[in-house]
Amino acid sequence: MAASSPVDLDQLRARRGADVRGQIFLILLLLSVALAIAMVGAVFYDVIVQAWGILSDRLWDFLASPSSSDPEKAGVAQGIRGSLLIALIVMATFPIGVAGAVYLEEYAEDTWVTRLIQVTVRNLAGVPSIVYGLLGLAVFVQGLRGITGGSSVIAAGITLAVLVLPVVVITSSEAVRAVPGSLRDGAYGLGATQWEVIRSQVIPAALPGILTGTVLAVARAMGEAAPLLVIGAAGFYTTGNNDFLEQFQGAFTALPMNIANFAREPAQTWRGHAAGASVVLLVMVFFLNLVAIIARARISKKLGR
Amino acid sequence: MIAPDVAPAPVVTVPALSSRASAGLLEPVAFLVVAMGIALVEYFVAGLFADFGPSNFWLAFVVMAGWNAWHFAGAQTALGSLTGHYIATTDGQPASVLTIAVRQLARFGVLYALPIMVLDFNFLTALLVWLVVGAVVSRMPGSRAPWDLLANTIVVDGLGKRATTVELPPLHSAADLRLAPARARENRRAARLMLTAGSASVVVSVLIVWSIFTEAWAFVSDSEFEWGILSQRGWFPRSGQFDLSTLFVGTLWVTGIAMLVAGPVGLGVAFYLSEYATPKVRRIVKPLIETLASIPSVVIGLFAISFISPKVLTLFISDIGIFSILAAGIGVGVLTVPIVASISEDAMRAVPMELREASYGLGGRKVTTALRVVFPAALSGISAAAIVGVSRAVGETMVVFIAAGGNGVFNTDPVEQGQTITAAMASLGAGTDQIAGSGIAFQSLYFLGALLFVMTMLLNILSDLIVRRFRQVY
């Protein structure tokens, strides 16, 4: 033992040579990260620069006026209204998704019913959004015309609610799964029924996670244009003196539809409108995210965690 | 420690399959008779609803359900009295009037009301649906049909002929925890409600498949349709040219270009975040890149024609127009980056630390560890990420609709305008192809939808299989 000389680390390192491949690899990785971040930056930069003219010129007018064939007058009021209504309808259907997630995580035993539900949820999450448009067209626009009134904001809202249902189920499932079993055991030990355990322990503990997932789902629903195209959203429509029902069952449009229509106008003047509408949509989506973050923080605080 | 006093599993006899199927066969006949009777009464009373149509069936469901529940409170349905079937609850007791009413309403709803009223079938098609659903799904021996799950019932055999004995799952009722009936009821009701909500996704799937494929079938079986119109070069629905190869070429280009962008960038980001980034850097970079996923695709479409084409691509290709397959493909790629990045990063982070440590212990460098140890171990997840990315790219609509120009001429040059499956559907739906609400051009929308649905479904199943088949369990 005494004869062996101590290992000379410096000598070992020198014999190994410089880590050229490692350096090149790291540079490539940093390049791809930089490229991805540049994409995010470029999107925001481009949209804001394009929208600057119209937003600094006539911000309020742009937000408050309906669509028009005159670039000087056209605005996104109808789109904002449509998108908000759609968001409301989508939110109203969230309990179904959350309940489905609770079923899968808390009740389901390994039966063919459970497996069928799991497989369909996973597959539905991967179905392209335009296919949901076809479903909306066939079932909600044509099949249930009596309730939805045809191509209406109700049909659009239900279609988008169906579109985000799998997302809601999957994210809520993850939130419910993350609730520690000790919480459940404690409540069971006090004699609570399964439903009481779920209502008083599982759902409150999972609520921050559920909320994040559902807000992301609303954001996604608000940004979808393809299903709306298929179920026949108008580019713009003329508003008369609509009665209450017609507000929901009549012609409608939404912000993504506005953007798509402005963007497809051949004249360059409309590009600014498209960018302006994009900024409005992005602001709405980020505002939603902000609300979710704040709500999440408050709930977590209330739960004492 | 008191052992929980679990009630023994009740044993009931369930009618044999053939016996139940023959009993079920009588049901539509009974319905027809009741519905015709109602139509007849209506004819004489009002003369208004002389048509024998869906409204009669609505009434027939209610009448049948009510009659069953009222008249056969001994837990037998109308047809059950002919064949000796009883409805029992899952603890083996005869079902109550209300339970039978709920079960029958749910059953009639699924078998009759749904096909006829909601899906607008005619009676013959509805009969066909009944035959398939009723004969196959509802009559599996021992297992219970959806409406049985809803009402918490099971069909048992009263005559004992050709019966199968079924042991029901044990009831978890610890005797020392006697539950107030109201709480127990609430508990049961909640469970049922959750199951109903959970089945919503199955209903949605069935509706999608059904609505798309019937219309797609209508397209293929239209009198104007012949297989030749699917291969005359060019996609012009207005003039009856439905060339699929035009759309496939466009879709392939867009998907290929998107993956060329998203594959390397997404994988690079994943490697960096999982292997190199310090937790602090990761906390900043990861949300930043995920922002990309929350940008609506219309905005990326706008980005493609206002930035990618005029500001980036013109640097390399001087004569490129604003609208091109290339710009659309890059736009879709931008959208796909976060998907590829986050799924592959998850896969890499799932590789256990021990593998990396073993590699370091053998003198492996960071790059060697990443490429020779982590990469192979995460390969199933990474290939799943690639497939999910492809499936997203194939299904992405708005970027292509806005940026590819929507020209239906057959074209293999990505610098020119082009059309993909999704963009063609969007054009049809948006009415830019000037088609009315019916006719073969409109139905081609559903035909494309069916194609797209099958393609993405296969891709998703493939990615699922890869993950399951090759996942290493550590």
Q: Which of A117, A162, A264 sits opposite B198 (nearest CB)?
A: A117
Q: Is there a contact between B201 and A166 if contact means CB atoms under 8 Å apart?
A: yes
Query: Could you tell me how many residues make up chain B?
Result: 474
Q: What is the CATH number of the domain that holds A152?
A: 1.10.3720.10
Residues A119 and A172 in one domain: yes
- A257-282 per-residue burial string, b: 16 or more CB within 10 A, e: under 16: bbbbbbbbeeeeebbbbbbbbbbbbb
* Angle CA A118–A124–A125, to nearest 5: 95
Query: What are the φ/ψ torsions at residue A221 (nearest 5 degrees)?
Result: -60, -40
Residues A274 and A181 in one domain: yes
The alpha carbon of residue A241 is apart from the nearest alpha carbon of chain B, in Å, by 26
pLDDT at A274 over 80: yes
**Has residue A79 been placed in a domain?**
yes
Residue closest to A129 by CA, chosen among B208, B252, B336 = B208
Task: Between B232 and A118, name the one with better pLDDT.
Answer: A118
Task: Between A29 and A272, name the one with better pLDDT.
Answer: A29
**Has residue A181 been placed in a domain?**
yes
Query: What are the φ/ψ torsions at residue A249 (nearest 5 degrees)?
Result: -100, -10
Query: For B332-359, what is the mean pLDDT?
Result: 90
- Angle between helical axes of B181-220 and B440-470 (0-180°, round to 10): 120
Q: Is there a contact between A127 and B193 if contact means CB atoms under 8 Å apart?
A: no
pLDDT confidence bin for B441, thresholds 50/70/90: confident
Residues A130 and A276 in one domain: yes
The alpha carbon of residue B299 is apart from the nearest alpha carbon of chain A, in Å, by 6
What is the count of structural domains for chain A? 2
Residues A34 and A110 in one domain: no
From chain B, pick out residues whose CB is under 8 angstroms from the CB of A99.
Answer: 193-194, 197-198
Model pTM greater than 0.80?
no
pLDDT confidence bin for B67, thresholds 50/70/90: low
**Has residue A53 been placed in a domain?**
no
* Angle CA A155–A157–A163, to nearest 5: 105
From chain A, pick out residues whose CB is under 8 angstroms from the CB of B311.
Answer: 46
Query: For B40-69, what is the mean pLDDT?
Result: 60
Residues A250 and A188 in one domain: yes
Residues A29 and A110 in one domain: no
In terms of CA atoms, which chain B residue is nearest residue A283? B295
All structural domains of chain B, each given as residue ranges with its CATH number in brackets, are 11-170 (no CATH), 235-470 (1.10.3720.10)
pLDDT confidence bin for B332, thresholds 50/70/90: very high
In this structure, the strands spanning B11-14 and B164-167 are antiparallel
Helix intervals (H) in B350-439: 353-361, 366-368, 375-377, 379-395, 398-403, 421-430
**Has residue A160 been placed in a domain?**
yes
Mean pLDDT score across all residues of chain B: 74
Q: Is there a contact between A26 and B460 if contact means CB atoms under 8 Å apart?
A: no
From chain A, pick out residues whose CB is under 8 angstroms from the CB of B143.
Answer: 112
Residues A22 and A146 in one domain: no
A92 in contact with B, Cβ within 8 Å = no
Residue closest to A129 by CA, chosen among B210, B203, B394 = B394
Residues A127 and A237 in one domain: yes
The alpha carbon of residue B69 is apart from the nearest alpha carbon of chain A, in Å, by 27
Q: Is there a contact between A162 and B204 if contact means CB atoms under 8 Å apart?
A: yes
In angstroms, rounded to a whole number, what is the distance separating the alpha carbons of residues B350 and A1? Answer: 42
In angstroms, rounded to a whole number, what is the distance separating the alpha carbons of residues A217 and A36? Answer: 23
**Has residue A25 been placed in a domain?**
yes
From chain B, pick out residues whose CB is under 8 angstroms from the CB of A98.
Answer: 197
In angstroms, rounded to a whole number, what is the distance separating the alpha carbons of residues B153 and B149? Answer: 7
Residues A83 and A25 in one domain: no
Tokens of B74: 């001994």
Q: Is there a contact between B337 and A135 if contact means CB atoms under 8 Å apart?
A: no
A279 in contact with B, Cβ within 8 Å = no
Query: What are the φ/ψ torsions at residue B88 (nearest 5 degrees)?
Result: -120, 155
pLDDT confidence bin for B3, thresholds 50/70/90: very low
In angstroms, rounded to a whole number, what is the distance separating the alpha carbons of residues A144 and A246? Answer: 16
A171 in contact with B, Cβ within 8 Å = no
The alpha carbon of residue B71 is apart from the nearest alpha carbon of chain A, in Å, by 32
- A61-97 per-residue burial string, b: 16 or more CB within 10 A, e: under 16: ebbebbbeeeeeebbbbbbbbbbebbbebbbebbebb
Q: Are B233 and B411 in contact (CB under 8 A)?
A: no
Quick check: ipTM above 0.90? no
The alpha carbon of residue A304 is apart from the nearest alpha carbon of chain B, in Å, by 24
Q: Are A194 and A239 in contact (CB under 8 A)?
A: no
From chain B, pick out residues whose CB is under 8 angstroms from the CB of A96.
Answer: 197, 200
**Has residue A288 been placed in a domain?**
yes
**Has residue A2 been placed in a domain?**
no
From chain B, pick out residues whose CB is under 8 angstroms from the CB of A112.
Answer: 143
Q: Which of A32, A198, A264 sits opposite B265 (nearest CB)?
A: A32
**Has residue A234 been placed in a domain?**
yes
Query: For B323-344, what is the mean pLDDT?
Result: 90
Residues A37 and A153 in one domain: no
In angstroms, rounded to a whole number, what is the distance separating the alpha carbons of residues B20 and B326? Answer: 60
Q: Which of B184, B394, B431 sits opposite A193 (nearest CB)?
A: B184
State the pLDDT at residue A34. 93
Domain span holding position A291: 58-302
Q: Which of B186, B299, B426 sits opposite A195 (nearest CB)?
A: B186
pLDDT confidence bin for A1, thresholds 50/70/90: very low
pLDDT confidence bin for B144, thresholds 50/70/90: low
Residues A25 and A139 in one domain: no
Q: Is there a contact between A256 and B366 if contact means CB atoms under 8 Å apart?
A: no
pLDDT at A154 over 90: no
Residues A89 and A129 in one domain: yes
* Angle CA B457–A131–B218, to nearest 5: 95
